[in-house]
Structure formats: structure tokens, C-alpha cells
């Protein structure tokens, strides 16, 4: 029976919440499945329904200036500041989309800042900063039209087809007469041949100077100049049923134009910078989105605003764009903070006299910015709170989507934005959650702490209380973790029973204990005062942790110390000294921690605490005498967070270690064996410092949040790895026994194949020596046995490279060199030179390592041949010497032996 392999702790990244949008252009296809967003130099495709990341299209090294999707979703067009335009074909399957680069073009001499595609997905319009406009055939990749206006940046483009009643309007009269005067002599007038289908196509363009121009694609000229706006035209749309073109500008106005006469119908002031405009449905409704951060709906025929008056939102929530595709039940609005807000369109809204202010039914965070802290929420741990370098706490779903969802936009998928906790006036830098997951405490740079009640089932997210009093930023908050007695009211109804107290620590070097009110705080009259305030440290306080029994708490500071306090009295119980830099994190051991082994002996698990410091170390401390039990070294930068992972159950403690994890400024998460101090494994999936760690209390899932805006979920795969390792070890033993059996019966073909698979160099050497030194070699065999020749002639690239490595080693030894030369000769005879020189070699060095191996074989082979030549030359001298000795010595036939006396024997002639 095989011995079981030693237990190895492993984690695999199973889910990643990653940024998809960092500002720029957003595009959506008609089917509302694919969302294309700009992520710096790259473009990201996301499935809107499931929220899954589809693919990332790598950029050309320059920032993307604009992008778009064709309405059919067949192509993705990307323009960058390198002046290039790349057209990708999107090949769709049931579960994936594969972008393939079709062509790369240089459309303008200046960057392209706006794109538009017609409804048939065949024509593409590009607008440059130099004022020129070009129309392209997407499939052919050639220019069909070039329109040159004033040298003013083109800010908006829109293809449309005039309704039949609008074709024979003023644009076909006055502009046509002017066009006739400019025609050169001999030119044939083909206006009479214009068909109804080609006469309809128009392209509307808006410029930075406020001018709107209507271009006729058949006549290749301007058919209308709409001079009314006085600032950037940001939005254009056309309604065939209303025979109306709507334009919106940063001059804070919306204008509706009659497409029959190109006369101005209405001008409505919006009192905000309008960034997007469009028609909804059959054109009876017009929507706008602008700098106030409010989606507004207007009656097209009267110009009256249907939405109730809305309060302007904060600057970070201002809209910079909006998307709507005909037939979709929602509008996508793009905010300054890179959030995409989805709004439902009220049914039959045009028949209502007034509409309540629209609220987004879903938000998609383009980027979470720096992840400063995170915690699991709710009793089932199905949500997560993120502190994201902003004034709000973002709550996201961390559960898999439910099967069978048929809605166009699913509201349940991994990483979905559920809610925002709004209330702080500055960046939130600390976060904690109570035992139930319903109560969240936050500390911010506005010098306050807040307690929130989270109840997603009732869509309730309220600020329960605000705790002012600190003179500087609140950098640490802590809630009690002890569970109420089972059967008690607090245990049965955690939403109705907030935590009893809150501990806060600040950059003002003080800690405060606050009594939490039983009822929500009401206005200024309900100002809460601290139960006690203590001058705790000489520098900023970075972290506070309450022990599982809620009797002690620890405070970690930049003054290189950690202090242990009693909660009731607020008195120092002990000080942990030993770190050489500021301490960033502290964590009490779980209540079921067994006896631990330190460098000085064993200690009760309940009485230990972990700390992480700027000196790049993690330390384990004994709370009995406040001494350091063990130091964990391995990070190359500041240790920013430490956590305990779940303690194995009693029946598994013999094989599973007690482990903890630390996150550092080096972007790594390290998992440690607490008893041995050894690094069990290192988790690497971040490109910036890792600020936050959290552990799922049931599955042992480890979650890391980083400054690169990603949240990685690490699944504990230790048990699966152990099972796979044991199965692999058992299989290897069976294969080794099989190899022994082949060798015993002399089945060299199978034995050599098996030895190559198992990478047994010693066994392989023994087999080759038997074959080469066989007393009965096969005739016409290179190696000595034809079966072995066949094996050597049918090796894979990996096996062939591995065999060349072994031959290189054997060739350096004079004893094994003859065998190596014989096998090498067999390989050279069996393969063409091109196969040997172009082997597919794995690894970073690749062909360089292959070149080194072949060069080593060449050098030692030349040395062996040189030695053989020298031996042959020396053999001539030996032969000559023997011949000369034969000619000088008398012949033995004329000689006889004569005895002289009793002893000597004399040879005489």
C-alpha cells in the first residue's frame, strides 16, 4: 500500500471582480447581450445579462479615444490615440465571443473622437478632431464618402433614414440649385435617377462650435445647416414617426427640428450641461442626461418635462453619457465615477402628466478604485461590503446566478452591485461587521463613524447612528463579534437589536467607546457622546480588533506598538513591543483555537494574537505574558492585513495545520502554518498592494482586495489537492511496478516507453546499455534492437527533448558515452534535421535551452572523436614497435633451455 502524501495547503482563484470601465466610450448592441467598455488601452466585453466577463481586447499601447459596436453585434470598432482604427469581427457561440482582428486602418490624420454605425451594420462614420468626417464600408474596409466641414472637432454623429414624406422637402430644392451651379461642365445630372431607397440615407453631425449639419449620402453634400446651438453638440437622434431631429448641447438647451423643412420647432432650456439626448419608442418621449446626474423625460410634441423636479446629485454622480437602443426596456447612463446606471422606461409614460423621478434599478460599477477594506455581509454571507476609496460603501453580491432567469437584465449574478451606503462626506477608510452580518460600522476622513443597518430582503439600507467627536480621520472601527445566547430575542431578530457598543480609533491618537442607541438616531438632537475617550498611542491608530469574547480589544498604531485594553474600563492590560515599524493590522485567534507551538513552547490558542507590520513581518504574541511566540518572514514589503483562517474540526487536526494569512504591499497573499512558521503557499493575482482580506466562516474562502481595483476569491482546494496527489502517487507506483515487470521479461520497447513517461533516467540508462551491449543484436538496427529503433522514431517533442537532455548528461561521462553515442546516432538517423532544430520546448527559455542542449552534445561528441583519433594514432606506434622487436629478437625455433646448476635456467642458441 502506498504511503499517503504529506498534506499541502492550496488555494485557487475561482472568481475575480475586476474593473471593466475607467472612463471614455461605452457601446451596447441591439440584443443587449454585449456591453463594450473602455479600460485604459484595452476594450472589455461584458455579458449584460449575467455580468460575466467575456473577453478583453488588448490595445495597441495608446489610450482608446472611442469605440463602438455595430447594432447587430457583428463587429467591434476601436480607435486610439495612435491614429489607428481596428475592426474586429465578433464570432459568437452559446457561451463565448471570440474577437478576431479583420483589419487595421488609419482613418484620419488626427485622432478619431466619435463613431456612428447605421442600423444595417454596414456603414461606419468617423469624426476627427480636424472637423473631417468619413464614411466607411465595414466589411470592405474602404471609404465611401468624405465630408469636410470647418476645422472644428466633430462631437456627435448619427445615421438616419428620412421618412418617405420628408424626402421631397426644401433640402431637395435650394441646396440642389446651388449644387447645379457648382457642377463642372460636362457632368451628367443624375438626380433624376435617384431611387427612393438611396434618397433616404442621411448623416447628422454636431461640432464643437454648436453647428449641426445634415449630409446626404447620395449627393455627397450638405443638405441642411442647423445653426442654433452656441456650444458643443453632444447628442443627436431622429424619429421617423415624428419627422423630428432632436439635438442637445452643452449650452444647456434641447432643440427639436422639423425634418421636412429643417425649421426649428422648439427650444427648451434645461439649466444643466446636456451630455446625451434621444427618442424613446415611437418618438413621443425624449430623454436627456446631463451634469445634474438626473435622467429627465420630455414630451416631444409640447417640450414639457414629464419628470418631477429633481435635486441635483453630487458631482461624482453627474452623467457624461447615455445609451438607448430601440426596443430595449432600459436606458444606460454613464456617471463621472465610472458607474453605469440602468433605468427602467415607464410604460405609457407619454400619456402621464407627471412621472416620479426615475431611480436606477441596477448599477454596474466600472471600477471599484482602490479596495481599502472588505467584509462578508448577511447571515448566509451572500453579499460583501467594499470600502473603495470613496465616500460610499458598495455592497455587491457574491453568490452565483440562479438558473432559469429569463429577464433581459438579471438582477442576480456574482459581483452585482446591490446597494450604496451613502452618508459620509469624505473617503471611508475603515470597515467592520457584527456577528449577524446585518450591521456595518464605517470610519471616514470626515472624522466621523457611522453604523448602518443592512436589510436587502426589504431593500432597506439605513444609517442607524453617526458618532462624531474625533478631531481627525477615523482609521479604525470595531464591533463586538460575540453571538447572543441562542433563543434570545437578539439572536432571533438581529435586525431589531443593534450591537451594544462600538470602538473607534483615530489619527488623533485616541480611542473611543460608543454606546449604540436602541432606536435610529433622529436629527441633531440625537447627538451621541462617547462612553470614554483614551489617549492610546503616540501616532496614528491603524487598526482595532475586539476579541471573540468581547472582553478585550487591541489597538495597532504607527508608533510600532499594539496595546491590549479591557472593554468595560478602557484600561491598558498589556503592550506588545517588538515590531520595528508601524503596525497595520491585528487579529485575535478564533475561540476554538487549540494549543499552539511557539518557539518557546506551547501556549493556549485562545490567548494569542497576530500582528502585521511595516517591517515586513507577521508576529504571533502570547497574551499571558505579552511576549512574541513566533515571527513569520517572507514578505518583501509592508504587511497590511492579517487574518486567521477557519480552525479545522477536531477529527482533522492531525493532518490539517492551523493556518493564517497575511497580505502585503508586494501584492502577495501568503498563507502560514502557525505551529511551524512555514509559508504554506503564496497567492499571486494582484498588480498592486493588497489592502484587505476576509475569510468565509464556512467554506474557508479567502478574499483579497487590492489597489488594482480587483477582488479575488480564493477557494481552499487543499482537500482536492490531497486526493489528487494520493491518486497520482498510487498511479505512479503502479506504473513503476509495470516498468519492473517489462524489464524482467525483457520487453525493452514497452520498458523504454514507460521509463520516458515516468522520467526515470537511471532506469532508462540501464535499459539502453542492455540494448546497445546485446550479444545478439538485430541486423540493420541502429541501436541493436529494431523494436527500440521504432520507439525512438515515434517520440513526441517533449519526450524527444527529455531524451536529448539525458543523452547530454550521459555523453559527458567516458563510461556511458559509447551508449549515448549509439542512441544519439539512432535519433539522428530517425529524424530529419528540421525536426530536431524546431522542437516545441516548454518554458520561458524555449528554443534557447534546446540550442544549449544540442551545443553540449556537439562539444562532447567532438571531444570523444578526437580522443578516438588520438588512440588510433598511438596504436600505429605500438604496432610499429612490436614489428621492430620481432625483427631484432632471435627466432624461438633455434633457441633451447639449459639448466645451470640447481637453480638457474639459461637460454642458449
Average pLDDT rounded to a whole number, residues 752-756? 81
Q: Which residues make beta-bridge pairs with 685?
A: none
Given a cut of 70, whether residue 183 has pLDDT beyond it is no
- Tell me what pLDDT residue 387 has: 95
Confidence band of 414 (pLDDT split at 50, 70, 90): confident
- Tell me what pLDDT residue 277 has: 96
CA separation, residue 894 to residues 321, 485, 891 (Å): 122, 123, 6
Over the chain, what is the mean pLDDT? 86
Summarize pLDDT for 193-222 with one digit per residue, the tens. Answer: 444 555 689 999 999 999 999 999 988 899
Confidence band of 3 (pLDDT split at 50, 70, 90): low
Summarize pLDDT for 476-531 with one digit per residue, the tens. Answer: 999 998 888 888 888 889 999 999 999 999 999 999 999 999 998 876 556 788 99
Report d(CA 587, CA 612) in Å as an integer.
9
Q: Report the C-alpha dihedral over residues 860, 863, 867, 868, rounded to 10 degrees.
A: 70
Average pLDDT rounded to a whole number, residues 376-400? 91
Q: What percent of the chain has pLDDT over 90?
A: 53
Listed range (5-14, 404-413, 751-760) with the worst mean pLDDT:
404-413
- Tell me what pLDDT residue 649 has: 85
Average pLDDT rounded to a whole number, residues 838-844? 68
Average pLDDT rounded to a whole number, residues 816-822? 86
Given a cut of 90, whether residue 428 has pLDDT beyond it is yes
Instruction: Answer positive or negative: Cα dihedral of 764, 769, 772, 777.
Output: negative
Average pLDDT rounded to a whole number, residues 721-728? 82
Summarize pLDDT for 568-581 with one digit per residue, the tens. Answer: 999 999 999 999 99
Q: Which residues make beta-bridge pairs with 711?
A: 17, 705
- Tell me what pLDDT residue 725 has: 80
The neighbour count for residue 59, using CB atoms within 10 Å, is 20
Listed range (78-92, 166-180, 372-386) with the worst mean pLDDT:
166-180
Q: Which residues make beta-bridge pairs with 465?
A: 451
- Tell me what pLDDT residue 168 has: 54
Summarize pLDDT for 667-681 with one digit per residue, the tens. Answer: 999 999 998 899 999
Listed range (151-165, 234-248, 608-622) with the worst mean pLDDT:
151-165
Angle of helix 718-745 relative to helix 761-772, nearest 10 degrees, comes to 20
Nearest residue to 463 (alpha-carbon basis) of 474, 480, 476, 450: 450
Three-class secondary structure of residue 122 per DSSP: coil
Summarize pLDDT for 297-326 with one digit per residue, the tens. Answer: 999 988 999 999 999 998 889 999 999 988
- Tell me what pLDDT residue 746 has: 74
Higher pLDDT, 294 or 196: 294
- Tell me what pLDDT residue 407 has: 40
- Tell me what pLDDT residue 63 has: 93
- Tell me what pLDDT residue 721 has: 85
Average pLDDT rounded to a whole number, residues 249-277? 93
Given a cut of 50, whether residue 186 has pLDDT beyond it is no
Higher pLDDT, 108 or 796: 108
- Tell me what pLDDT residue 611 has: 96
CA separation, residue 622 to residues 83, 210, 856 (Å): 63, 72, 57
Average pLDDT rounded to a whole number, residues 817-824? 86
Report d(CA 649, CA 653) in Å as an integer.
6
Report d(CA 545, CA 865) in Å as an integer.
74
CA separation, residue 523 to residues 229, 466, 497, 749 (Å): 46, 10, 21, 88
Q: Are 109 and 128 in contact (CB under 8 A)?
A: yes
Q: Strands (DSSP E) along 149-240, which ranges? A: 154-161, 201-207, 211-216, 221-227, 233-239
882 contact partners, CB below 8 Å, separation of at least 6: none
- Tell me what pLDDT residue 505 has: 96
Higher pLDDT, 51 or 205: 205
Cell 451596447: give the residue: 28
Listed range (180-184, 261-265, 673-677, 845-849) with the worst mean pLDDT:
180-184
Listed range (619-633, 810-824, 842-856) with the worst mean pLDDT:
842-856
Report d(CA 433, CA 452) in Å as an integer.
10
Helices (H) and strands (E) in the chain, counts: 11, 59
Given a cut of 50, whether residue 56 has pLDDT beyond it is yes
Confidence band of 659 (pLDDT split at 50, 70, 90): very high
- Tell me what pLDDT residue 401 has: 65
Listed range (149-163, 192-206, 713-727, 752-766) with the worst mean pLDDT:
192-206
Higher pLDDT, 857 or 263: 263
- Tell me what pLDDT residue 836 has: 80
Higher pLDDT, 420 or 754: 420
- Tell me what pLDDT residue 162 has: 87
Report d(CA 163, CA 143) in Å as an integer.
26
Summarize pLDDT for 97-144 with one digit per residue, the tens. Answer: 889 999 999 999 999 999 999 999 999 999 999 999 999 999 999 999
Provide the phi-psi class of 841: left if phi over 0, else alpha when psi is between -120 and 50, else beta: beta
Amino acid at each position: 500500500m502506498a504511503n499517503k502524501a504529506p498534506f499541502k495547503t492550496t488555494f485557487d482563484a475561482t472568481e475575480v471582480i475586476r474593473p471593466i470601465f475607467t472612463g471614455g466610450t461605452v457601446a451596447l448592441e441591439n440584443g443587449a447581450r454585449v456591453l463594450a467598455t473602455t479600460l485604459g488601452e484595452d476594450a472589455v466585453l461584458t455579458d449584460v445579462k449575467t455580468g460575466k466577463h467575456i473577453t478583453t481586447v488588448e490595445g495597441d499601447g495608446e489610450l482608446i479615444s472611442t469605440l463602438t459596436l455595430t447594432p447587430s453585434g457583428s463587429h467591434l470598432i476601436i480607435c486610439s490615440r495612435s491614429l489607428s482604427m481596428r475592426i474586429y469581427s465578433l464570432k459568437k457561440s452559446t457561451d463565448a465571443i471570440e474577437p478576431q482582428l479583420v483589419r487595421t486602418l488609419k482613418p484620419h490624420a488626427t485622432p478619431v473622437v466619435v463613431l456612428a454605425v447605421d442600423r444595417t451594420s454596414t456603414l461606419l462614420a468617423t469624426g476627427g478632431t480636424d472637423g473631417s468626417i468619413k464614411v466607411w464600408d465595414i466589411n470592405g474596409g474602404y471609404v465611401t464618402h468624405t465630408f469636410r466641414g470647418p476645422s472644428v472637432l466633430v462631437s456627435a454623429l448619427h445615421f438616419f433614414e428620412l421618412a418617405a414624406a420628408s424626402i421631397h422637402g426644401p433640402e431637395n430644392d435650394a441646396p440642389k440649385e446651388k449644387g447645379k451651379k457648382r457642377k463642372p461642365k460636362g457632368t451628367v445630372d443624375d438626380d433624376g435617377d435617384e431611387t427612393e431607397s438611396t434618397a433616404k440615407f442621411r448623416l447628422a453631425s454636431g461640432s464643437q462650435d454648436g453647428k449641426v449639419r445634415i449630409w446626404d449620402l447620395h449627393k455627397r453634400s450638405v443638405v441642411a445647416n442647423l445653426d442654433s446651438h452656441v456650444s458643443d453638440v453632444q447628442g443627436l437622434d431622429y424619429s421617423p414617426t415624428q419627422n423630428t431631429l432632436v439635438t442637445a448641447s452643452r449650452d444647456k438647451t434641447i432643440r427639436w427640428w422639423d425634418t421636412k423643412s429643417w425649421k426649428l420647432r422648439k427650444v427648451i432650456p434645461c439649466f444643466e450641461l446636456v451630455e446625451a439626448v434621444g427618442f424613446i419608442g415611437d418618438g413621443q418621449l425624449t430623454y436627456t442626461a446631463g451634469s445634474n446626474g438626473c435622467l429627465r423625460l420630455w414630451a416631444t410634441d409640447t417640450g414639457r418635462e414629464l419628470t418631477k423636479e429633481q435635486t441635483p446629485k453630487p458631482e461624482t454622480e453627474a452623467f457624461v453619457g447615455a445609451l438607448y437602443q430601440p426596443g430595449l426596456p432600459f436606458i444606460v447612463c454613464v456617471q463621472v465615477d465610472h458607474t453605469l446606471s440602468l433605468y427602467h422606461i415607464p410604460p405609457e409614460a407619454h400619456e402621464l402628466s407627471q412621472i416620479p423621478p426615475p431611480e436606477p434599478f441596477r448599477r454596474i460599477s466600472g471600477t471599484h478604485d482602490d479596495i481599502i477594506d472588505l467584509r462578508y455581509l448577511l447571515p448566509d454571507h451572500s453579499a460583501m461590503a467594499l470600502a473603495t476609496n470613496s465616500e460610499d460603501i458598495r455592497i455587491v453580491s457574491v453568490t452565483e446566478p440562479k438558473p432559469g432567469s429569463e429577464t433581459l437584465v438579471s438582477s442576480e449574478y456574482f459581483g452585482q452591485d446591490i446597494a450604496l451606503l451613502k452618508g459620509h462626506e469624505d473617503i471611508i477608510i475603515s470597515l467592520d461587521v457584527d456577528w449577524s452580518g446585518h450591521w456595518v460600522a464605517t470610519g471616514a476622513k470626515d472624522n466621523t463613524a457611522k453604523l448602518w443597518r443592512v436589510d436587502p430582503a426589504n431593500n432597506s439600507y439605513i444609517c442607524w447612528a453617526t458618532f462624531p467627536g474625533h478631531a481627525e480621520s477615523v482609521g479604525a472601527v470595531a464591533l463586538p463579534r460575540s453571538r447572543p445566547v441562542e433563543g434570545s430575542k437578539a439572536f432571533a431578530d438581529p435586525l431589531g437589536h443593534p450591537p451594544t457598543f462600538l470602538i473607534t480609533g483615530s489619527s488623533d491618537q485616541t480611542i473611543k467607546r460608543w454606546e449604540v442607541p436602541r432606536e435610529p438616531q433622529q436629527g441633531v438632537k440625537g447627538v451621541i457622546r462617547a462612553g470614554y475617550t483614551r489617549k492610546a498611542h503616540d501616532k496614528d491608530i491603524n487598526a482595532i480588533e475586539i476579541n471573540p469574547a468581547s472582553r478585550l480589544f487591541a489597538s495597532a498604531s504607527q508608533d510600532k506598538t499594539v496595546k491590549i485594553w479591557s472593554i468595560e474600563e478602557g484600561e491598558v492590560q498589556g503592550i506588545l513591543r517588538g515590531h520595528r515599524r508601524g503596525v497595520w493590522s491585528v487579529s485575535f485567534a478564533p475561540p476554538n483555537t487549540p494549543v499552539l507551538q511557539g518557539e518557546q513552547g506551547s501556549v493556549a490558542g485562545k490567548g494569542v494574537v497576530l500582528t502585521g507590520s511595516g517591517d515586513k513581518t507577521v508576529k504571533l504574541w502570547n497574551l499571558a505574558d505579552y511576549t512574541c511566540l513566533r515571527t513569520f518572514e517572507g514578505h518583501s514589503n509592508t504587511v497590511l492585513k492579517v487574518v486567521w483562517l477557519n480552525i479545522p474540526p477536531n477529527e482533522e487536526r492531525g493532518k490539517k495545520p492551523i493556518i493564517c494569512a497575511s497580505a502585503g504591499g508586494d501584492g502577495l497573499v501568503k498563507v502560514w502554518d502557525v505551529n511551524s512558521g512555514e509559508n504554506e503557499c503564496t497567492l499571486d493575482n494582484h498588480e498592486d498592494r493588497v489592502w484587505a482580506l476576509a475569510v468565509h466562516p464556512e467554506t474557508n474562502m479567502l478574499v483579497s482586495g487590492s489597489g488594482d481595483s480587483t477582488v479575488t476569491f480564493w477557494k481552499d482546494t487543499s482537500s482536492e489537492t490531497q486526493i489528487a496527489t494520493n491518486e497520482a502517487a498510487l498511479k505512479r507506483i503502479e506504473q513503476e511496478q509495470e516498468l519492473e515487470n517489462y524489464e524482467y521479461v525483457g520487453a525493452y520497447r514497452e520498458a523504454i516507453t514507460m521509463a520516458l513517461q515516468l522520467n526515470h533516467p537511471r532506469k532508462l540508462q540501464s535499459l539502453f546499455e542492455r540494448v546497445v551491449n546485446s550479444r545478439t543484436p538485430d541486423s540493420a538496427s541502429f541501436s541493436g534492437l529494431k523494436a527500440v529503433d521504432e520507439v525512438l522514431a515515434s517520440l513526441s517533442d517533449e519526450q524527444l527533448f527529455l531524451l536529448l537532455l539525458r543523452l547530454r548528461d550521459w555523453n559527458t561521462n567516458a563510461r556511458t558515452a559509447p551508449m549515448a553515442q549509439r542512441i544519439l546516432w539512432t535519433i539522428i538517423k530517425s529524424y530529419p534535421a528540421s525536426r530536431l532544430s524546431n522542437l516545441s520546448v516548454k518554458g520561458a527559455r524555449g528554443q534557447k535551452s534546446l540550442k544549449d542542449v544540442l551545443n553540449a552534445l556537439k562539444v562532447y561528441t567532438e571531444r570523444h572523436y578526437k580522443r578516438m583519433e588520438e588512440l588510433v594514432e598511438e596504436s600505429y606506434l605500438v604496432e610499429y614497435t612490436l614489428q621492430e622487436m620481432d625483427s631484432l629478437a632471435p627466432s624461438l625455433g633455434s633457441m633451447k633451455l639449459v639448466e645451470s646448476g640447481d637453480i638457474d635456467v639459461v637460454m642458449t642458441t
